[in-house]
Amino acid sequence: MLVIRSCSWVKLWGNSHPVRWSLPQVWAPRSPHRGLRTSPCTSKHYSFFKELDREFVKFQKKLKESLPSNDWSLLSPTASLPPERADVVIVGGGVIGWSVAYWLKKLENRRDGLRVVVIEKDPTYAHASTVLSAGGIRQQFSRPENIQMSLFSAQFLRNINEHLGLVNEEAIDLQFNPSGYLFLASEDGASVLEENYKAQREQGAQVALLAAEQLKKKFPWICTDGVALASYGLENEGWFDPWTLLNAFKRKAQSLGVYQSHSQVIGFKQSLREMTTEDGESVNFRRIRHVVVQVPSSPETHSVECALVINTAGAWSGRVAEMANIGTGDPGSLEGTKLPIEPRKRYVYTFHCPDGPGLDCPLLIDSSGAYFRREGLGGNYIGGLSPTEEEEPDPGNLDVDYDFFQQKVWPLLARRVPAFESLKVRSAWAGYYDYNTYDHNGVIGNHPLVHNMFFASGFSGHGLQHAPAVGRAIAELIVHNEFKTLDLRAFSFKRFYTEEPVLERNIV
Amino acid sequence: MMPEDTGSHSDYIPPVSRVIVPFMWMRSSRAASLAVCVQTIGALPAVTWGASRPSSSSSSPVSAVRHRLMDFLDKYFYDIEAAISWSVRLKQWNLRRKNAHYAYTERRYGPYVAAAYFALSKRGGVRFQGHTDWLRTDSKGQISWDFLQLKEVPVECVDLSESSLTFRGLDNIVSLKELRELYLRRCPHLDDWALSRLYVFQDSLEVLSLAGCPRITERGLAALHHLKNLRHLDVSDLPSVQSKGLVRILLEEALPGCHIVGLDYYEGLEDDDSRVVPTADLRH
Ligand SMILES: Cc1cc2nc3c(=O)[nH]c(=O)nc-3n(C[C@H](O)[C@H](O)[C@H](O)COP(=O)(O)OP(=O)(O)OC[C@H]3O[C@@H](n4cnc5c(N)ncnc54)[C@H](O)[C@@H]3O)c2cc1C
């Protein structure tokens, strides 16, 4: 049997769409048995179709005008309004959100078994970390889980067209630069670097240790003063274009039937159940019933009935968690434990230096924390530095502080690469780290009290590269009720309450 | 049957039929459905899946129509969608199979014989140390098994030109510590990720040819800086490399003492500045 597939008409007829309208009479096929192939095209048919065509255009125009936002097209039923009901609502359409959506569709055990909607407040992604990141991928972490996630992601990205390719579309070109990461360590940091190296090799990452002389020989443009040891990623490390990855996830997920809505989540409707523990303490269990959203150009709010909510709001996921009453109880209790994720502003500077390092330039991370990498081949580089806790800039806007480069970043870069003494800053941008103030690592899994809220955020500067692995992990939790591919239990929300930080030494 | 006929017996195809046709098919009998399936299978070779299409290909008008048709059918019918996704998956599976690691052979006969067997089964060739002749398959694709005697003799040269070698397929040759010459001409699936893996030959490799590989870009060529012993590098006819002149200069800088063939000095020099858009400018 031929089964009709995601045809826009069928969806529009479904009661999920808020706009109700009836089909004009003329559209119903007059005689269902009239095969197109056997009927000779007489002039009567000709004019009939012409007429029909005109009607069609007129109707489409009318329909378009009557809708709240005009980017809506009759043939692509993705309006900015969310459906009234969904199984899974994903809050935040950054790379993590769309990765979760893709994997849910991939792992669902029945076709269209899950109705998934991604809610993104800003379709231009003006503030989203994903598109403002440096695009790096590395295996040089200290936690085995982080190394494994990167290895998984590297494999995914390498075969991206097998996973996210669309039939009859151009191949996805991630613009991957396989140039590696180079971590430098001072005398003090050398032993830690060596330990990390061992952990990485154990997980199967191809990393090499270089002593100072070897480093000088391999990269003559580095000034090795104060460098005791370096570790250099040989495979699967480098940088790629974040936009391409985001779009690839998004388009594939949409082709698999994920809905998207351009609106902002402003709250949740929950049900509450009070229970008493053995010690006589009362605990409030909550369950999210509806997600309340607001569409930009309208004061009205809509609610989406849902079974699960996934918080992938990146730097704003702390705020979204608060909307679900997470962290609003007594301090020190599980109810009072906040999701410790906040936006932290980070600058990335683009500079030009004609005599700078050439083809062999890796993404270099200095022992001081400053980093840079090549951008193209014309002597352009991008670089930056995470400020100290005291220097944290105000995250209220994304303005760039150029003095920070002159005073803090440049001296460090020029000390490491003498050629950079003559560099010229070309431009700069700022983006938000989805910064986990507790232990700088992601939060993966659901909340112990608000059972149907899942987190996938707080990756503090390495979320882009982990997106494929994290999306899969969350989808596994939902579909199989446990992690299958990688064991990421250490990243659960509980660690904030039980005080078991997941420490990662290589945070840039 | 139907998809063709809608177009063939009348020059005027009303756009609205795009909408009505599926309704009719939906109501049509099982026989019609089958017919459509048969039609699909016939049309399947027309389906390209992005990755397997060389980036420079310009499709003819006929195949463009076919693509559109398949696209359309794929959008509306599960059967066709399934058939297409199966054909894509089959291709992927085939490519993976062709690049499988000959782990058993490697355990039993050692890395040299395994690599030689891999190269020969891809209709390539190898040369063992101390031999002057290349070992290749004969014109019928038959292999003479004498090389099984050469267990202990290192393989010095490998030719995998025009094979479907990928990153994974390199598993079969990365353990050749004595490899001095590697020919990978016109490999349609060889990409930048695969190039980044050639660093394993940094102590031995002297000759490398990547001529005519459609998917290699300047980003992958950058990874060749590891190969410090390279004396001869053929990078001619690489359609995906941008700013060819600049890439050549930078390669010469990174590989002093290496003779580079291909990548004209003056090709693409003028456009290198516009190409290096700082990432920041891509956003607003
Ligand atoms: C300067 C910089 C450099 C970086 N470099 C790297 C790197 O080299 N490698 C790496 O792996 N990572 C890097 N990162 C980190 C990486 O960018 C992030 O970890 C990752 O993008 C997080 O993805 P996300 O989808 O969670 O967040 P985002 O991309 O921020 O997406 C969250 C989305 O949620 C939406 N949203 C928020 N609140 C709501 C709401 N209430 N309703 C609806 N929508 C909402 C936002 O509009 C946003 O689009 C870097 C980050 C920065 C800032």
| Secondary structure (DSSP) of A22-76 | ---GGGS-S-TT--TTTS---HHHHHHHHHHHHHHHHHHHHHHHHSSSTT-BTTB
The C-alpha of A206 sits at a distance from chain B's nearest C-alpha, in angstroms, of: 10
Based on the fold, state whether residues B278 and B222 are members of the same structural domain.
Answer: yes
H or E segment and range at residue A229? strand A229-233
Considering the domain boundaries, does residue B3 fall inside one? no
Whole-number pLDDT of residue B261: 93
Higher pLDDT, B29 or A299: A299
Based on the fold, state whether residues B207 and B118 are members of the same structural domain.
Answer: yes
Based on the fold, state whether residues B217 and B178 are members of the same structural domain.
Answer: yes
Tokens of A431: 């983006």
Q: What is the distance in A from the centroid of ligand 1 to the CA of A206? A: 28
Based on the fold, state whether residues B35 and B155 are members of the same structural domain.
Answer: no
Q: Could you say which of B6, B88, B253 has the minimum Cβ distance to residue A36?
A: B6
Pocket test for ligand 1, best of A133, A349, A363 (most atoms within 8 A of CB): A133
Q: Could you say which of A126, A158, A167 has the minimum Cβ distance to residue B47?
A: A167
Ligand 1 atom with minimal separation from the A136 CA? 8
Place of tokens 């055990």: A109
Chain B residue at shortest CA distance from A135: B279
Based on the fold, state whether residues B266 and B129 are members of the same structural domain.
Answer: yes
Chain B residue at shortest CA distance from A28: B20
Does the structure show a pLDDT above 90 at B192? Answer: yes
C-alpha distance across the termini of chain A, in Å? 56
Closest CA to A105 of A474, A499, A400, A451: A474
Write the CB contacts of B237 (distance below 8 Å, at least 6 apart in sequence).
B211, B212, B262
Instruction: Tell me the C-alpha to C-alpha distance, in Å, between residue A446 and each of A289, A344, A452, B16.
Output: 16, 24, 7, 48
Based on the fold, state whether residues B270 and B207 are members of the same structural domain.
Answer: yes
Based on the fold, state whether residues B143 and B88 are members of the same structural domain.
Answer: no
Q: By the 8 A CB rule, do B204 and B177 touch?
A: yes
B25 close to A (CB below 8 A): yes
Place of tokens 């597939």: A5
Whole-number pLDDT of residue A98: 98
CATH assignment at residue B184: 3.80.10.10
Between CA B16 and CA B24 the distance in angstroms is 13
User: Chain A interface, mutation test: which of B4, B47, B56, B219, most A Cβ atoms within 10 Å?
Assistant: B219
Tokens of A207: 């990393």
Instruction: Tell me the C-alpha to C-alpha distance, in Å, between residue B165 and each of B103, B109, B154, B234.
Output: 16, 22, 21, 18
Does the structure show a pLDDT above 80 at B38? Answer: no
Residue A333: other Cβ atoms inside 10 A: 12
Considering the domain boundaries, does residue B5 fall inside one? no
Q: What is the distance in A from the centroid of ligand 1 to the CA of A443? A: 14
Report phi then psi at A289, rounded to 5. -100, -40
Q: What is the ipTM of this complex?
A: 0.80
Q: What share of chain A is helix, strand, coil (3-state, %, to 5)?
A: 30, 25, 45
Whole-number pLDDT of residue A81: 84
Ligand 1 atom with minimal separation from the A312 CA? 26
Closest CA to A308 of A97, A452, A420, A212: A452
Q: Which amino acid is at B120?
A: L
Whole-number pLDDT of residue B65: 81
Q: Could you say which of A33, A134, A167 has the minimum Cβ distance to residue B49?
A: A167
Between CA A402 and CA A428 the distance in angstroms is 8
A439 close to B (CB below 8 A): no
Whole-number pLDDT of residue A43: 53
Ligand 1 atom with minimal separation from the A430 CA? 1
Tokens of A105: 């569709």
Where is average pLDDT lowest: A47-51, A435-439, B162-166, B232-236? A47-51
B266 close to A (CB below 8 A): no
Considering B95, B117, B147, which residue would you say is the last residue of a domain?
B95
The C-alpha of A217 sits at a distance from chain B's nearest C-alpha, in angstroms, of: 11
Tokens of B213: 């590989």
Tokens of A170: 């151009």
A36 close to B (CB below 8 A): yes
Q: What is the distance in A from the centroid of ligand 1 to the CA of A99? A: 12
Whole-number pLDDT of residue A235: 93
Based on the fold, state whether residues B158 and B120 are members of the same structural domain.
Answer: yes
Write the CB contacts of A37 (distance below 8 Å, at least 6 apart in sequence).
B1, B2, B5, B6, B9
Strand partners, A435: A342
pLDDT, one tens digit for every residue, chain A (508 residues): 444 444 344 333 334 444 334 333 334 333 333 333 434 444 556 677 778 788 878 877 776 665 555 444 444 444 578 899 999 999 999 999 999 999 999 999 888 899 999 999 999 999 999 999 999 999 999 999 999 999 999 999 999 999 999 887 889 999 999 999 999 999 999 999 999 999 999 999 999 999 999 999 999 999 999 999 999 999 999 999 999 999 999 999 999 999 999 999 999 999 999 988 888 888 899 999 999 999 887 888 999 999 999 999 999 999 999 999 999 988 888 999 999 999 999 999 999 999 999 999 999 999 999 999 999 999 999 999 999 999 999 999 999 999 999 999 999 999 999 999 999 999 999 999 999 999 999 999 999 999 999 999 999 999 999 999 999 999 999 999 999 999 999 999 999 999 999 988 888 8
Closest CA to B127 of B63, B179, B196, B60: B179
Q: What is the distance in A from the centroid of ligand 1 to the CA of A130? A: 4
Mean pLDDT over the full length of chain B: 77
The mean pLDDT of B81-88, rounded to a whole number, is 83
Instruction: Tell me the C-alpha to C-alpha distance, in Å, between residue A38 and each of A48, A147, A266.
Output: 17, 63, 56
Residue A312: other Cβ atoms inside 10 A: 32
Considering the domain boundaries, does residue B113 fall inside one? yes
Q: By the 8 A CB rule, do A218 and A208 touch?
A: no
Tokens of B232: 């001869």
Q: By the 8 A CB rule, do A322 and A306 touch?
A: no
Q: What is the distance in A from the centroid of ligand 1 to the CA of A390? A: 23
Between CA B221 and CA B12 the distance in angstroms is 51
Considering the domain boundaries, does residue B84 fall inside one? yes
Closest CA to A69 of A19, A3, A15, A120: A19
B17/A177 Cβ within 8 A: no
Residues 45-74 of B with CB under 8 A from A: 47-51, 53, 55, 67, 70-71, 74
Tokens of A87: 């199984």
Report phi then psi at B183, rounded to 5. -115, 115
Q: Provide the number of structural domains found in chain B.
A: 2
Give the DSSP letter of residue A182.
E
Chain B residue at shortest CA distance from A167: B49
A35/B24 Cβ within 8 A: yes
Does residue A404 sit in helix, strand or coil?
Answer: helix
Tokens of B59: 């499709």
Question: Where in the sequence is the domain holding B39, given as residue range(s)?
Answer: 11-95
Q: Could you say which of A1, A33, A171 has the minimum Cβ distance to residue B53?
A: A171
Q: What is the distance in A from the centroid of ligand 1 to the CA of A283? A: 33
Closest CA to A467 of A69, A81, A174, A44: A174
Does the structure show a pLDDT above 50 at B52? Answer: no
Considering the domain boundaries, does residue B4 fall inside one? no
Residues in chain B: 284
B195/A178 Cβ within 8 A: yes
A170/B50 Cβ within 8 A: yes
Considering B50, B77, B95, which residue would you say is the last residue of a domain?
B95
Considering B61, B95, B129, which residue would you say is the last residue of a domain?
B95
Whole-number pLDDT of residue A307: 96
Q: Whose CA is nearest to atom 8 of ligand 1?
A: A136
Q: By the 8 A CB rule, do A434 and A481 touch?
A: no
Q: Whose CA is nearest to atom 10 of ligand 1?
A: A462
Ligand 1 neighbours, Cβ below 6 Å, are A 91-97, 119-122, 125, 128-130, 132-136, 264-265, 312-316, 320, 346, 348, 431-434, 457, 459, 461-465
The long-range contacts involving A57-64, CB below 8 angstroms and separated by at least 24 positions, are A59/A24, A63/A21
Based on the fold, state whether residues B169 and B229 are members of the same structural domain.
Answer: yes
Tokens of A494: 């509980």
Based on the fold, state whether residues B62 and B22 are members of the same structural domain.
Answer: yes
Based on the fold, state whether residues B270 and B164 are members of the same structural domain.
Answer: yes
Based on the fold, state whether residues B130 and B259 are members of the same structural domain.
Answer: yes
Considering the domain boundaries, does residue B100 fall inside one? no
Whole-number pLDDT of residue A52: 79
Between CA B278 and CA A425 the distance in angstroms is 11
Q: By the 8 A CB rule, do A289 and A270 touch?
A: yes
Strand-by-strand arrangement of the A363-365 sheet: A207-211, A229-233, A181-185, A363-365, A371-374, A380-384, A341-352, A424-436
Whole-number pLDDT of residue A395: 94
Does the structure show a pLDDT above 50 at B1? Answer: no
Between CA A504 and CA B149 the distance in angstroms is 51
The C-alpha of B104 sits at a distance from chain A's nearest C-alpha, in angstroms, of: 21
